Amino acid sequence: MKLLRYGPAGQEKPGLLDTQGQVRDLSGVVSDIAGAALSSESLTKLTALDPNSLPVVAGKPQEDLRLGACVGQVGKFICIGLNYADHAAEAGMDVPPEPVIFNKWTSAIVGPDDNVQIPRGSTKTDWEVELGVVIGTGGSYIDEADALSHVAGFCVVNDVSEREFQLERAGTWDKGKGCDTFGPTGPWLVTQDEVDDFDNLAMWLDVDGTRFQDGSTATMVYKVPHLVAYCSQFMSLQPGDIISTGTPPGVGMAQSPQVYLKGGEVMSLGIEGLGTQTQRVRAFS
């Protein structure tokens, strides 16, 4: 099942994508793709629905029908750093002995095809295609063996990053990670039953038609169950929380010479089975 949120920014409604690629309205069933709607009980009920019984929403998603972030009312946007062995190598850093945790602020979250805004003073805005894990059932001190029962599904995240803010401005990574628009999320939340092998999904990112990232979740160091269990040691996980699990090689910082976004570029990215995103980059004004 592919769950989504559609409509103008700040006024999104819940929906699902049917097998014909049409959006079906879920407003009469759930108020949002958020909170209790992400529980296993709720997802079971949604899966049992006949999509043909739901109203068709006019427009083609990601063309003349805007999609918002696929999860609403996100409480925590948790990110994992240096979690791909090949990305750590290109960054000249060792694979960490435990997962590196940082945060993106929820004000960074935008739809999958919304513009990305270069922040004031930026010189090193970069890109990172990532597998997002959406929590459906909350908990603390979750056992790794039970971790997947807490996951509602998966989505695409672009972990847009300002490298100078992140690495050179005397602070935590969070400074360069949570700027407004730095968290395109979606297009849809794909439930676990539709993701055959989340440990082996192709993922890619292009800038202006040039392929920079071409990787796979297969090179992820700390896998999804471990990350869910690990994060839950330090905070309670709650329905709608997102864990963005790291990026494969090909970021702009690692190019020779380095390549950063200045404004005017178009980023296109996707993960096998989870959909694609397209963002136009806007210079600060």
236: three-class secondary structure by DSSP: coil
Specify the higher pLDDT residue, 199 or 285: 199
Residue-wise pLDDT tens digits, 148-188: 999 999 999 999 999 999 999 988 899 999 999 999 999 99
Residue-wise pLDDT tens digits, 75-128: 999 999 999 988 888 878 788 999 999 999 999 999 999 999 999 999 999 999
Distance CA 264, CA 164 (A): 20
CB 276 within 8 A of CB 269: yes
User: Helix H segments across 158-213?
Assistant: 163-167
Structure tokens at 141: 């001190």
Q: What is the pLDDT of residue 171?
A: 82
Q: How far is CA 57 from CA 77, 130, 277, in A?
A: 29, 29, 20
CB 65 within 8 A of CB 13: no
CATH architecture of 68-282: Alpha-Beta Complex (3.90)
Q: What is the pLDDT of residue 114?
A: 98
Q: How far is CA 128 from CA 4, 21, 201, in A?
A: 22, 27, 15
pTM here is 0.97
Q: Where are the domains of the chain?
A: 68-282
Residue 47 has pLDDT above 90, yes or no: yes
